[in-house]
Amino acid sequence: MAEQNAKFHSRFVTNDGENERATFIEQRENSNTIRKINSAVKTFQQYLIHVKAEFREIHTMQPQELDQYLQECFVGLGNHPNAAEALESEDEEELYRSRGFGTDDPHSLLSTIWYMNTIHFGLRGSHEHRQLKWGDLKLETDRNENQCLTYNERLTKTRDGSNTKNTRAYAPKSWSNPEDERKWHISTYLKYRSNRQTETCQPDSPFYLGVNRSDNAKHWYKNQHLGEKFLKNLMKQAVAKTNVEKKKN
């Protein structure tokens, strides 16, 4: 019995020092702080690119200019606190590589446009996605003559404009990604539009449509709202084609 206890205790390092425990706790806290800071910086960078069409490096901006951008970003996040965060870049890349994301088939295209609408326009949960209409997104040209995709939030019974905390401070816009054509929100949107029937592109048409499984169909999508259960699982189905979850476990 004594021998077994000795073997058990030999697996652990005996550490009775208060300094060692304090150092361990501090290292864990520092690690969490660094992770949160990196996440916040990434969110701000996405805001600059996708809302402001600002592609300069943060450290090259003038302090007054950067301060203005930060204020506007905080206001936007404050009025929309539950906006979804983007995937880590390596996970996002894995989804494109494995065709969980992409535009080559109707299922991947649905997952991709859902993801882009989430991170660029801050749609929260399946309810907001299900309420989305085709006319809520519009192709426009900004003041610099650049094409952009704009989300015009409609007022609803639960969002009547009276609660400023539940209302966006600006109409979110999305521009093309100059670094990776696969991740262009506009081209993904146009691909999705080209595979819809004309009658499903009316302002009040549901944005997300069911997949047409007929081999003789001219379009990928039916004139029918995508089922709520399928809509909820779009991301899960895309991730199932990858090693993203396995890497996190």
pLDDT tens per residue across span 17-75: 566 666 665 666 666 677 777 777 877 887 787 667 778 888 888 887 787 777 667 65
Residues 6+ apart with CB under 8 A from 97: 242
Cα 20-24-25 angle, rounded to 5 deg = 120
> Cα–Cα distance between 137 and 207 in angstroms, integer?
9
Flag whether 157 is in a domain: no
In a domain, 187, yes or no: yes
Instruction: Judge contact between 86 and 42, C-beta under 8 A.
Output: yes
Whether residue 145 is contained in a domain is answered as: no
**Residue span of the structural domain in which 94 resides:** 89-134+182-248
Asked if residue 123 is part of any domain, the answer here is yes
Which of 156-160, 176-180, 214-218 is predicted with the least confidence, judged by mean pLDDT? 156-160
pTM: 0.65
Provide the pLDDT confidence category of residue 8 given band limits of 50, 70 and 90. very low
Going by the DSSP 8-state scheme, the letter that residue 206 receives in this structure is: B
Residue 124 falls inside a structural domain: yes
- Tell me the torsion sign for CA atoms 82, 184, 111, 140: positive
**How confident is the model over 190-206, as a mean pLDDT?**
96
117 lies in some domain: yes
Residue 224 lies in a domain: yes
User: Cα dihedral sign for 85, 52, 50, 151?
Assistant: positive
Q: Bridge partners of 174?
A: 149
The count of domains in the chain is: 1
Please report whether residue 193 resides in a domain.
yes
Residue in the block written with tokens 């309810």: 127
